[in-house]
């Protein structure tokens, strides 16, 4: 690159990061590690988890270096925004109660006709349970994870082992189908 890596401008270092050069990667991490880690610790309050978020931040920067737009802010601002978003996701994930896949199957089963329906006597809840039970299994699972457990589409995708777009489509399609089923019941 000509200049010592410590003196290379941030944008040039970020561009070089995408090349996979290990020296550039080390220089990039060293330059921004305090800022990235600091944001993660501030949001999470957990140094160990903050280390994981910092590592994820640098991995994401490496994978998405080509989408950086200098008109929207500095490299440091871009990186700290990534760290902040990942830390918020980690906070949300810590709050979510993990559910084993076999338990999730049982939860989707509860949505259909079972004794649990008596505990929820509300007619609207019963209609929603029937509508969700009528969905294909993948859509019902995604909708239950998002609607009942409050998981984000990203969390659903990770849990189900599917691409983010697939999880979003399952949630959206399931929601549209449930709404249509509920509206069709109202018009009868």
pTM greater than 0.85 (yes/no) = no
Q: Please report, for residues 32, 35, 50, 69, 139, the alpha-carbon distance to residue 80 in angstroms, rounded to integers and kept in the order given.
A: 9, 7, 13, 14, 34
Which domains are seen in the chain, by residue range? 5-95 (1.10.1740.10), 101-187 (1.10.10.10)
Q: pLDDT tens for the chain, 188 residues: list them.
A: 456 777 888 888 888 887 878 888 888 889 999 989 988 988 888 889 999 999 999 999 888 888 888 888 888 888 988 999 898 888 877 765 666 666 666 655 544 544 444 443 455 667 778 888 889 999 988 988 888 777 889 988 988 899 999 999 999 999 999 888 888 876 76
């Amino acid at each position: 690159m000509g200049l010592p890596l410590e003196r290379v401008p941030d944008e040039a270092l970020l561009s070089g990061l995408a090349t996979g050069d290990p020296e550039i990667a080390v220089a990039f991490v060293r330059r921004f590690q305090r800022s990235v880690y600091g944001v993660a610790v501030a949001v999470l309050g957990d140094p160990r988890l903050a280390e994981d978020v910092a590592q994820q931040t640098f991995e994401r920067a490496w994978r998405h270096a080509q989408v950086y737009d200098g008109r929207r802010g500095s490299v440091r601002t871009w990186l700290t925004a990534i760290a902040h978003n990942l830390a918020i996701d980690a906070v949300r994930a810590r709050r979510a109660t993990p559910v084993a896949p076999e338990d999730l199957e049982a939860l989707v089963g509860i949505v259909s006709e079972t004794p649990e329906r008596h505990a929820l006597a509300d007619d609207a809840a019963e209609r929603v349970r029937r509508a969700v039970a009528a969905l294909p299994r993948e859509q019902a699972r995604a909708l239950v994870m998002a609607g009942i457990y409050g998981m984000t589409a990203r969390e659903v995708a990770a849990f189900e082992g599917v691409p983010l777009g697939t999880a979003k489509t399952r949630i959206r399609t399931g929601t549209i189908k449930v709404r249509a089923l509920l509206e069709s019941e109202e018009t009868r």
